[in-house]
Structure 1
Amino acid sequence: MITLKKHYTEAIKRNPDDPKLYSNRAACYTKLAAFDLGLKDCEVCCKLDPKFIKGWIRKGKILQGMQQHAKALTAYQKALELDPSNAEAVDGYRACSTQLNSNPEEVRKRAMADPDVQAILRDPAMRCILDQMQQDPHALQDHLKNPEIAAKIQKLLESGLIAIH
């Protein structure tokens, strides 16, 4: 595996714009349990080619291995946007969803420890939007048109505090 990693590193030096090379090297790092390095390669891979589904799936698996299930869920969601029937993405999404929803109190404690989540929940405008979404689920579509609000809602989704069905 270390030899393979060296070959991918050399290939990346020669062709730094090929997302597959980063994805493959990330797989090597994963086998070596170097999740942080694998995650960096996945991020480069997904940035180079946001439509390369294997990069998103690999990122999801690495984040799962790092016990970051909410972030893994987001990576699997990106993969499912590209191919809703991809079995690896569906399985990863289900596993993360199950893990996140298995202990609601733990989800809440972890989310509330995040300063970004705290700031969103302290924002009176966001509280109004969240209340409105509970009353009228169709209101969500209007709010998602605003990129700033969409980013905050995405953060709450990733934290596991809210879910959209």
Structure 2
Amino acid sequence: MMTVMATLMGIDLPDDPSNAGSSAPKQQETKPAPKAPETKKEEPKKQEPKKEDPKKESQDVEMEDSETSDVKASLAAKAEGNTLYKQRKFDEAIAKYDEAWTLHKDITYLNNRAAAEFEKGDYDAAIETCNKAVDEGRDMRADYKLIAKSFARLGNTYLKKNDLESAVKFFDKSLTEHRTPDVLNKLRATQKEIKTQEALNYINPEKAEEARLQGKEFFTKSDWPNAVKAYSEMIKRSPDDARGYSNRAAALAKLMSFPDAVRDCDLAIEKDPTFIRAYIRKANAQLAMKEYSQVMETLQVAREKDLALGEGKNVHEIDQLFNKASSQRFQALEGETPEQTMERVSRDPEIVGILQDPVMQGILGQARENPAALQDHMRNPEVSKKINMLIAAGVIRTR
């Protein structure tokens, strides 16, 4: 009923009848949050400069002065040591270098001391001092050039003691620290000396003979590579034996390695200029390479050597090889007429030179009138060589 009456009268009633007599809900008042208390920024206090203790300052100055005086004293001691070193008073110089080292740690003084010990002949002491210089230098981060000098001095000392391997080791270490031409040359010379000594220690005539027989066996069986190896071993065991080079040249020729064969023959001739077999093998290798002019020159020398020895047992073989080389040199090429061959031969520089020689022109003129006179001229080795060349070329025809 109340609702109906209220509606008719235009009065709004609350939805919950139990709250009809209560007043409208009060708005809750929000209290403002309390303000944080303001903090005053404290300005940094200015630090007043500390007053240095005059006593401490004077102590620092005294220490610096003391260090400077020690360095000066060490340099003076070093200078005295150098003077004594030049006078070859090594014991006194060593004492001065020790004094300098005690006053101021500089490995230069140790290097100088090692030099004095080296010149004195006390190599073990020099090695000990150099090792100390390297260790101390590493600890104090010394200049790498000074450490390199220590290593170089170690190399020189071991070289003096004939310990070549150790010398190479320390020369190499010196170059790692600092590369200098002097140390590099010493390293290379020492390495070369090591190889020379190894070669000398390897020499054994008995072993060389065993290798020669083994090489001969391989050669007979046509096993050319192993023959070359055996003869190479013979050369190492007996480097002054010309037979090793000559035999290896023969095996190399079978393997068609003619330039190497010629080189070995030259070595054999160098070891023994009277070894005629080496000349003949050299000529055969040159002939295989079609070096006809060189073949004839080699054979001419061989013929003279053989006759000079008073034997002449190889002259026949030499002449046969000479004629073979001459015929191959001037033989007609395939499809070439005799006229073309003669024209080509006449342009050969060596033939032209012989024909233009005034002496040879006179000899050939005499030979036309008196062929027997040519035999007299053949006694001269130089003339004989030229006449044989003309005979081989077909310029002179014999019946």
TM-score normalised per structure 2: 0.30
Q: Matches of 2:294 and 2:326 in 1, distance apart? A: 11
| 1:92 is the counterpart of 2:315 | no
Q: Matches of 2:326 and 2:276 in 1, distance apart? A: 19
Q: CA deviation at 1:132?
A: 4.3
Aligned-partner residue type, residue 111 of structure 1: P
Q: Matches of 1:70 and 1:93 in 2, distance apart? A: 10
Q: Matches of 1:132 and 1:110 in 2, distance apart? A: 19
Question: Quick one: which of 122, 127, 130 aligns to 2:357?
Answer: 130
Tell me the residue number matched to 2:274: 51
Question: Quick one: which of 258, 261, 264 aligns to 1:38?
Answer: 261
Q: Matches of 2:343 and 2:236 in 1, distance apart? A: 46
Aligned-partner residue type, residue 362 of structure 2: Q
8 Å contact kept, 1:100–1:107? no
Aligned-partner residue type, residue 361 of structure 2: Q
Q: CA deviation at 1:91?
A: 1.4
Q: CA deviation at 1:136?
A: 5.6
Tell me the residue number matched to 1:118: none
Q: CA deviation at 1:106?
A: 4.0
Tell me the residue number matched to 1:13: 236
Unaligned runs of 5+ in 2: 1-223, 332-340, 365-376
Q: Matches of 1:64 and 1:46 in 2, distance apart? A: 18
Structure 1 residues 104 and 70, CA gap change in structure 2 (3 angstroms): farther
Structure 1 residues 95 and 3, CA gap change in structure 2 (3 angstroms): same
Q: CA deviation at 1:18?
A: 1.1
Q: CA deviation at 1:107?
A: 4.6
Q: Matches of 1:97 and 1:24 in 2, distance apart? A: 26
Cα offsets for 1:80-130 (capped at 9, x unmatched) = 221545232121011112223334544555638xxxxxxxx7xxxxxxx92
Tell me the residue number matched to 2:75: none
Question: Quick one: which of 17, 21, 25 aligns to 2:248?
Answer: 25
8 Å contact kept, 1:26–1:38? yes
Structure 1 residues 133 and 111, CA gap change in structure 2 (3 angstroms): closer
Tell me the residue number matched to 2:349: 111
SS for the counterpart of 1:92 is helix
Q: Matches of 2:284 and 2:274 in 1, distance apart? A: 17
Instruction: Tell me the number of residue pairs that the alignment of Structure 1 and Structure 2 aligns.
Output: 138
Q: Matches of 2:279 and 2:233 in 1, distance apart? A: 23
**Matches of residues 134-149 of structure 1 in structure 2 within 5 Å?**
134-135=361-362
Larger radius of gyration: 2
Structure 1 residues 109 and 29, CA gap change in structure 2 (3 angstroms): farther
Identity of aligned residues (%): 31
Q: Matches of 2:265 and 2:345 in 1, distance apart? A: 26
Aligned-partner residue type, residue 301 of structure 2: K
Q: CA deviation at 1:67?
A: 0.7
SS for the counterpart of 1:33 is coil
Q: Matches of 1:36 and 1:108 in 2, distance apart? A: 29
Aligned-partner residue type, residue 254 of structure 2: K
Aligned-partner residue type, residue 52 of structure 1: F
Structure 1 residues 135 and 51, CA gap change in structure 2 (3 angstroms): same
Q: Matches of 2:296 and 2:240 in 1, distance apart? A: 26
Cα offsets for 1:131-164 (capped at 9, x unmatched) = 2442368xxx9xx9xxxxx9xx9xxx6xx68x9x
Q: Matches of 1:4 and 1:46 in 2, distance apart? A: 21
Aligned-partner residue type, residue 226 of structure 2: T
C-alpha RMSD of the superposition = 3.5
TM-score normalised per structure 1: 0.66
Q: Matches of 1:107 and 1:13 in 2, distance apart? A: 46
SS for the counterpart of 1:17 is coil
Aligned-partner residue type, residue 59 of structure 1: K
